[in-house]
Amino acid sequence: MKLTQEQIATFQEEGYLFLPNVFTAEEMALLAGEMPGMFAQERPEVIREKDSKSPRSAFYVQTWNPVYEMVARHPRLVEPGMQLLGSDKLYMHQFKINAKAAFDGAVWQWHQDYATWFNDDDMPAPNAMNIALFLAEANEFNGPLMFIPKSHRLGRLEAKHDVTTTSYPLWTMDNETIARLVNEGGIVAPKGPPGSILLFHGNLVHASGCNLTPWSRWILYLSLNRCDNAIRRFKRPAWIANRDFTPIDMLPDDCLVEYARKRRSAA
């Protein structure tokens, strides 16, 4: 899937781009059907919320689920990353599903992803980005992602390592800095149905609040990095910070539909 020049310009200006309904209802039904079984597993890659058994994240899913292995190589997700990062040789730095569970989904503090990639993984430059696929509706109530537009232009900002607020350590930003940035750029929260995608820069400041609603908010993240920008520190597990820098080999656009049809035929 190719982005238009106007879409590329919007991304470069604002630091993010939202595209609704990129995947079909049939494709999303296939992906959603896999999630209960994945999050029910007891394995290191499945992280629970700090004070409950509710799922927070499932990492490296493409290596232990065949459906998500295809998603990790889907051209509607990978090709826009190639355009925006200026290279056809990208690898998967991180692949995860964040589960903002109904009634129990905890916050993700204000942060830049590149701060973590730099401080923990020694990624040389912010030549990496996120492609997010909505697996469930994101609305104004169930903890949508919040962005500070244009904050990616400020480069990597000072951050401190927060290892206590949630079950997942993060390099986060102080309230004074966030107040200043919001005063300058405001806050946006892109919302939409399953199958929508959200592309955002590694330096875009973002967060999400708690989910107190009965509607879970599930988002899949592909953190794509240029192969010539591979990480140089390996202190985090490989299922969090990938050490395989092989370029992604994209699959045909109809791979999910064909898989679903074959599964139905075999049933």
Q: How does pLDDT run across 84-94, given as a tens digit for each residue? A: 999 999 999 99
Distance CA 257, CA 267 (A): 16
Q: What are phi and psi of 84, to 5 degrees?
A: -75, -30
Instruction: Kindly report the average pLDDT of the chain as a whole number.
Output: 95
pLDDT at 266: 83
Distance CA 59, CA 235 (A): 16
Angle between helices 255-266 and 25-39 (to 10 degrees): 70
Q: What is the set of domains in the chain, with CATH numbers?
A: 5-266 (2.60.120.620)
Percent of the chain with pLDDT over 70: 100
Task: Tell me: pLDDT of 220 over 80.
Answer: yes
Q: What is the mean pLDDT of residues 238-267?
A: 94
Task: Tell me: pLDDT of 168 over 90.
Answer: no
How sure is the predictor about 52, in pLDDT bands with cuts at 50, 70 and 90?
Answer: confident
Q: What is the mean pLDDT of residues 245-264?
A: 95
The answer to whether residues 173 and 112 touch, using CB atoms and an 8 Å cutoff, is yes
Task: Tell me: pLDDT of 151 over 80.
Answer: yes
Q: What is the mean pLDDT of residues 100-119?
A: 94
- What's the burial of 60, exposed, middle or buried (CB within 10 Å: 0-12/13-18/19+)? buried
Query: In whole angstroms, how far apart are CA 225 and each of 38, 45, 65, 207, 241?
Result: 25, 21, 22, 21, 11
Distance CA 110, CA 118 (A): 16
How sure is the predictor about 114, in pLDDT bands with cuts at 50, 70 and 90?
Answer: very high
pLDDT at 218: 95
Strand order in the sheet with 145-147: 145-147, 206-208, 108-111, 170-172, 160-162
pLDDT at 76: 98
Q: What is the mean pLDDT of residues 100-104?
A: 92
The answer to whether residues 248 and 95 touch, using CB atoms and an 8 Å cutoff, is no
The answer to whether residues 49 and 101 touch, using CB atoms and an 8 Å cutoff, is yes
pLDDT at 234: 97
Can you name the residues that pair with 162 across neighbouring β-strands? 170
pLDDT at 226: 98
Task: Tell me: pLDDT of 167 over 90.
Answer: no
The residue whose two tokens read 């609603």 is 213
Exposure string of 236-267, with b = 16+ CB inside 10 Å and e = fewer, is beebbbbeebeebebbeeebbeebbeeeeeee
Task: Tell me: pLDDT of 267 over 80.
Answer: no
The residue whose two tokens read 């232990």 is 64
How sure is the predictor about 96, in pLDDT bands with cuts at 50, 70 and 90?
Answer: very high
pLDDT at 150: 97
What pTM value is reported for the model? 0.94
pLDDT at 165: 86
Neighbours of 9 (CB within 10 A): 12
